């Protein structure tokens, strides 16, 4: 098995990892920092990668762990400081907006989606994100996560029901 | 009679059990209709999709950062080093305390500072201290040659060289802003570096520069004010407050501050958030904007505002400048292509508009204006 070097790994997979981080982490994570952390861990563990799984599966698992650790830490920090909003957001985000109203609406919708997703269990949350936000099929999710296809369908259906129930509890996401 | 919470839980449980293993073939985000629970959920989820969370520039910067950091010790190892250091300090402290207790050593600063005068009887504890006192007494010069310890030093003897304390200390908010590890703090560091470098052509001339500490303090103050404005704008959702802070920034630092471009960017963003498009455009018209670096966003905003006011010729000039740099592929290029196509269509340049839309679709097939571009091309 030929192991890719870190530079090639980054060039090839960084955009996908960045998307996973942005989707799994939600609007308040620093995507640059987490992508950096993922690839540093990948660099350290590259020697342990035996090639049993696909490299994307391996990277996804690292990403999932890094993001969920960061989310736990952020939750604890929010609990401690009672701050709902995080640090000052990236200034580059401001530059991508077409009109302020569009951007505000989009931000509100993202906040609502992640408010609902954050109340769901991790196994439903991540599958729903991969299916709905990443646009992956069940088979692709199975290949990426290593979960059995039948389990994916069950979790996806349950996750959708939970999402709708939580969305209703949240006032239709328009709170 | 079951309580309501139990009924709700039961209903949820039975709904979850009812979920089967039939494959789910269509995502809610792919649904066209927006009626019904699933359609509404799909519309909401579509807003949360992020196409390109990192631009090509950010990816390149990330790659460089990774090359630099991969040789550093992992964070766990650094923590272990810190923990080992703490353990060593604790053990050393414990050993010192034990020595003091059992051997009568004194590490007290006040006792060490009190020098005994020659021939004076010593009030000492323990044998070791008594021996040390005797040695010091034997080696000490006669009392008449030793100045009294508490004699005040006259001001004339004070050191003439100005120490760091002579420089003004930056205000607390600025110090906090400068030490906070946020994206803005990193940007400030970058700006700080830029400010610290001599301007081209300025080296060796006779212009007097302020002391480095003073310049840093002024920059820290400026960055503190700007951070406050950005926090009001983006975190507290208070564009009016942000504008007031930016006015204060202009009053204190004028238009030549080290962070003037960042302040202008924030001001334009605040004006846009307040819906004051005309004011934002007026502000942008007065700026010399380059199609590179941090000015690109401002240039794109100016082009769009000009187009919004029907000034398509002027808008097209800005769009052309944004698109003149080959190899860039980010949200600004996307906006510029779409904006220029609209302007060209308005001006009757159908071929030009078509060319822009085709380029747009080739480069951003899933872009935010892709559906609109396709429908315009098929019209």
pLDDT of residue B146: 40
For residue range A36-63, list pLDDT tens digits in order: 999 999 988 888 887 777 888 999 999 9
3-state SS, one letter per residue, for chain B: CCCHHHHHHHHHHHHHHHCCCCCCCCCHHHCCCCCHHHHHHHHHHHHCCCCCCCCHHHHHHHHHHHHHHCCCCCHHHHHHHHHHHHHHHHHHHHHHHHHHHHHCCCCCHHHHHCCCCCCCCCCCCCHHHHHHHHHHHHHCCCHHHCCCCCCCCCHHHCCCCCCHHHCCCCCHHHHHHHHCCCHHHHHHHHHHHHHHCCCCCCCCCCCCCCCHHHHHHHHHHHHHHHHHHHHHHHHCCCHHHHHHHHHHHHHHHHHHCCCHHHHHHHHHHHHHHCCCHHHHHHHHHCCCCCCCCCHHHHHHHHHHHHHHCCCHHHHHHHHHHHHCCCCCCCHHHHHHHHHHHHHHHHCCCHHHHHHHHHHHHHHCCCCCCHHHHHHHHHC
Band (A87; pLDDT cuts 50, 70, 90): very low
Task: List the single residue in B183, B231, B300 with the smallest CB-CB distance to A90.
Answer: B183
Which residue on chain A is closest to B233 by alpha carbon? A88
Same domain, B182 and B264: yes
pLDDT of residue B301: 87
pLDDT of residue A51: 74
pLDDT of residue A172: 64
Q: Of the candidates B279, B310, B331, which is a domain's last residue?
A: B279
Q: Of the candidates B279, B306, B325, which is a domain's last residue?
A: B279
pLDDT of residue A88: 39
Worst-scoring range by mean pLDDT, A69-73, B14-18, B188-192, B307-311? B188-192
Residue B231 placed within a domain: yes
Same domain, B302 and B223: no
Residue B128 placed within a domain: no
Residue A81, pLDDT above cutoff 60: yes
Mean pLDDT across B273-286: 86
Residue B115 placed within a domain: no
Residue to mutate among A9, A132, A165, with most B CBs inside 10 A, is: A132
Same domain, B301 and B334: yes
Residue B136, pLDDT above cutoff 80: no
What is the residue range of B180's domain?
171-196+212-279
pLDDT of residue B75: 67
Report which of residues B107 and A109 the model is more confident about: A109
Worst-scoring range by mean pLDDT, A3-12, A103-112, B98-107? B98-107
A132 with B45: Cβ contact below 8 A: yes
Band (B290; pLDDT cuts 50, 70, 90): confident
Report which of residues B133 and B307 the model is more confident about: B307
The pTM of this model reads: 0.43
Residue B338 placed within a domain: yes
Same domain, B308 and B229: no
pLDDT of residue A131: 93
| Mean pLDDT value across chain B | 71
Q: Which residues contact B20 (CB under 8 A, 6 or more apart)?
A: A153, A154, A157
Residue A17, pLDDT above cutoff 90: yes
Report which of residues A16 and B234 the model is more confident about: A16
A70-84, A90-104, B197-211: which is most confident: A70-84
For residue range B293-302, list pLDDT tens digits in order: 777 888 888 8
Residue B144 placed within a domain: no
pLDDT of residue B331: 84
For residue range B159-177, list pLDDT tens digits in order: 334 333 333 444 444 444 4
Residue B156, pLDDT above cutoff 50: no
Report which of residues B187 and B265 the model is more confident about: B265
pLDDT of residue B144: 39
Residue B221 placed within a domain: yes
Q: If contacts are CB pairs under 8 Å, which of residues 125-154 in chain A contact chain B?
A: 131-133, 135, 138, 150, 153-154
- Give the count of domains, chain B: 2
CA A71 to chain B, closest CA, distance in angstroms equals 17
pLDDT of residue B284: 86
Band (A2; pLDDT cuts 50, 70, 90): low
Catalogue all structural domains in chain A, each as residue range(s) with its CATH number: 1-87 (1.10.1740.10), 97-175 (1.10.10.10)
Task: List the single residue in B30, B50, B304 with the smallest CB-CB distance to A23.
Answer: B50
Longest dimension (CA), chain B: 110
Report which of residues A163 and B234 the model is more confident about: A163
A chain contacts of residue B234, beta-carbon cutoff 8 Å = 88-89, 94
Q: The CATH number of the domain where B305 resides is what? A: 1.25.40
Residue A32, pLDDT above cutoff 80: yes
A138 with B23: Cβ contact below 8 A: yes
Band (A126; pLDDT cuts 50, 70, 90): very high
Worst-scoring range by mean pLDDT, A76-90, B92-106, B137-151? B137-151
Band (B18; pLDDT cuts 50, 70, 90): low
pLDDT of residue A127: 92
Report which of residues B224 and A1 the model is more confident about: B224
A chain contacts of residue B77, beta-carbon cutoff 8 Å = none
CA B20 to chain A, closest CA, distance in angstroms equals 6
Worst-scoring range by mean pLDDT, A55-64, B198-207, B211-220? B198-207
Q: Tell me the percentage of chain A whose pLDDT exceeds 70.
A: 82
Same domain, B269 and B367: no
Coil, helix or strand for A61?
A: helix
CA B85 to chain A, closest CA, distance in angstroms equals 25
| Mean pLDDT value across chain A | 81
A157 with B182: Cβ contact below 8 A: no
pLDDT of residue A14: 92
Same domain, B275 and B298: no
pLDDT of residue A66: 93
Same domain, B334 and B248: no
Mean pLDDT across B329-337: 85
CA B260 to chain A, closest CA, distance in angstroms equals 15
Same domain, B249 and B334: no
Mean pLDDT across B248-268: 80
The number of beta carbons lying within 10 Å of the beta carbon of residue A4 is 15
Same domain, B229 and B255: yes
User: CA-based Rg of chain A, rounded to a whole angstrom?
Assistant: 17
Same domain, B324 and B367: yes
pLDDT of residue B287: 78
Residue B142, pLDDT above cutoff 50: no
Residue B368, pLDDT above cutoff 70: yes
Q: Of the candidates B221, B253, B279, which is a domain's last residue?
A: B279
**Contact with chain B for residue A8, Cβ under 8 A:** no
Residue B248 placed within a domain: yes
Same domain, B292 and B267: no
Same domain, B272 and B357: no
């Amino acid at each position: 098995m030929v192991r890719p070097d870190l530079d090639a790994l980054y060039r090839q997979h960084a955009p996908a990892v960045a998307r996973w981080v942005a989707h799994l982490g939600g609007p308040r994570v620093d995507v640059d920092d987490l992508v950096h952390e993922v690839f540093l861990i990948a660099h350290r563990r590259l020697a342990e990668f035996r090639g049993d799984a696909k490299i994307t599966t391996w990277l996804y698992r690292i990403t999932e762990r890094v993001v969920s650790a960061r989310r736990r830490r952020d939750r604890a920090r929010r609990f401690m400081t009672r701050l709902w909003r995080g640090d000052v957001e990236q200034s580059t985000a401001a530059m991508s907006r077409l009109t302020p109203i569009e951007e505000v609406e989009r931000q509100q919708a993202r906040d609502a989606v992640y408010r609902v997703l954050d109340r769901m269990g991790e196994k439903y949350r991540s599958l729903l994100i991969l299916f709905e936000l990443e646009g992956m099929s069940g088979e692709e999710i199975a290949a990426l996560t290593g979960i059995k296809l039948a389990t994916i369908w069950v979790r996806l259906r349950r996750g959708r029901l939970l999402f709708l129930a939580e969305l209703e509890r949240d006032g239709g996401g328009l709170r | 009679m079951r309580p309501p919470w139990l009924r709700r839980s039961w209903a949820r449980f039975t709904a979850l059990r009812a979920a089967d293993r039939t494959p789910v073939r269509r995502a809610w985000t792919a649904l066209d209709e927006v009626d019904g629970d699933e359609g509404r959920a799909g519309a909401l989820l579509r807003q949360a999709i992020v196409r390109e969370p990192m631009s090509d520039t950010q990816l390149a910067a990330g790659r460089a950062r990774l090359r630099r950091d991969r040789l550093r010790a992992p964070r766990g190892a650094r923590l272990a080093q810190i923990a080992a250091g703490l353990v060593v300090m604790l053990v050393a402290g414990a050993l010192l305390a034990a020595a003091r207790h059992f051997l009568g050593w004194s590490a007290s600063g006040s006792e060490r500072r009190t020098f005994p005068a020659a021939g004076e009887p010593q009030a000492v504890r323990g044998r070791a201290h008594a021996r040390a006192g005797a040695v010091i007494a034997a080696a000490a010069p006669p009392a008449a040659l030793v100045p009294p310890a508490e004699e005040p030093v006259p001001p004339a003897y004070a050191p003439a060289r100005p120490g760091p304390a002579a420089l003004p200390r930056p205000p607390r908010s600025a110090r906090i802003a400068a030490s906070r590890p946020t994206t803005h703090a990193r940007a400030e560091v970058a700006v700080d570096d830029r400010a610290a470098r001599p301007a081209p052509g300025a080296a060796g001339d006779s212009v007097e520069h302020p002391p480095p500490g003073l310049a840093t303090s002024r920059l820290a103050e400026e960055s503190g004010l700007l951070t406050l404005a950005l926090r009001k704008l983006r975190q507290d959702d208070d564009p009016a407050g942000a504008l007031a802070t930016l006015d204060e920034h202009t009053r204190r630092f004028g238009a030549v501050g080290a962070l003037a471009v960042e302040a202008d960017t924030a001001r334009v963003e605040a004006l846009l958030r307040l819906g004051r498009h005309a004011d934002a455009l007026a502000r942008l018209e007065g700026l010399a904007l380059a199609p590179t670096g941090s000015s690109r966003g401002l240039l794109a905003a100016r082009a769009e505002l000009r187009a919004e006011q029907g000034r398509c010729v002027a808008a097209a000039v800005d769009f052309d400048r944004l698109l003149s740099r080959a190899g860039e592929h980010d949200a600004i290029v996307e906006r510029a292509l779409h904006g220029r196509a609209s302007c060209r269509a308005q001006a009757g340049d159908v071929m030009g508009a078509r060319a822009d839309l085709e380029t747009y679709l080739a480069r951003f097939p899933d872009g935010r204006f892709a559906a609109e571009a396709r429908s315009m091309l098929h019209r």
